[in-house]
Amino acid sequence: MRPREFDHDDLLRIAFDQFWRNGVRGTSLSDVARDAGVQRGSLYNAFGSKEALFLQAYERYAGDYVGSIQKVLGSGTLRKRLAAFFDLTIKNFRSGSPPRGCPTTRGLMELGSVEGEGLDEGARQAFAAMVTRITALVRDTLSAGAERGEFSGDPEIAALHIITVTRGLAVLERAYGDEAELRKIAAHTIDLTLRKDVAKSR
């Protein structure tokens, strides 16, 4: 009997949901095969390993997520764009029941784990590429805001600061699960980013 064929994109979606909820170490190909209704051997034949499946599933997620960020950063005042960016970020962390956290931060924590069960250099590069893409989008948004007179700082430095805050929010979400506190920190970060340079105003 031939193994059941599967829709590649649908399989990646199902697999990533498993990885996001349970981590790479906590997910087996058998788990993914069960949820997708296919044979585990079919996954081995198609992807070769659990990590290879994860990387393809993560790339699919990253493409969708970056597209969502581009959309929310695309209109409104600079403050509204940054507020929408943080709102999307926090909603992403808090999605699922219970909330699944940030898949990128979670994946980074699994890098280099013992006994070959975690993620390797290929995953690290994928995570770094994702963060770089998001940082560039925020930087470009700040640059455009500066041209409109809405921002007086350095877009490059400010973008790095904002992305660093989002990484901190990802950790705080895991530690406390307090969405109100995450949103308070986000609002404060926007205020700090957009306030006029004190030295220039004197």
| SS3 state of residue 119 | strand
What is residue 97's predicted lDDT score, i.e. its pLDDT? 75
**DSSP states of 22-67 as a string?**
HTTTT--HHHHHHHHTS-HHHHHHHHSSHHHHHHHHHHHHHHHHHH
- Region 32-52 average pLDDT: 88
Task: Render 62-93 in DSSP notation, one character per residue.
Answer: HHHHHHHHHHHTSSS-HHHHHHHHHHHHHHHH
What are the structural domains of the chain? 50-201 (1.10.357.10)
Q: Is the pLDDT of residue 113 over 80?
A: no
194 membership: H or E segment, kind and range: helix 179-194
**Phi, psi (deg, nearest 5) at residue 111:** -65, 135
For residue 199, the model assigns a pLDDT of: 36
| pLDDT above 70 as % of the chain | 90
Hey, what are 4's tokens? 């059941």
Q: Answer yes or no: is pLDDT of 156 > 50.
A: yes
| Predicted confidence band of residue 149 (pLDDT cuts 50, 70, 90) | very high
In terms of phi and psi (left: phi > 0; alpha: psi -120 to 50; beta: otherwise), the region of 177 is left
For residue range 10-21, list pLDDT tens digits in order. 999 999 999 998
* Distance from C-alpha of 195 to C-alpha of 192, rounded to nearest angstrom: 6
Q: Looking at 112-126, 133-147, 178-192, which range is the least confident one? A: 112-126
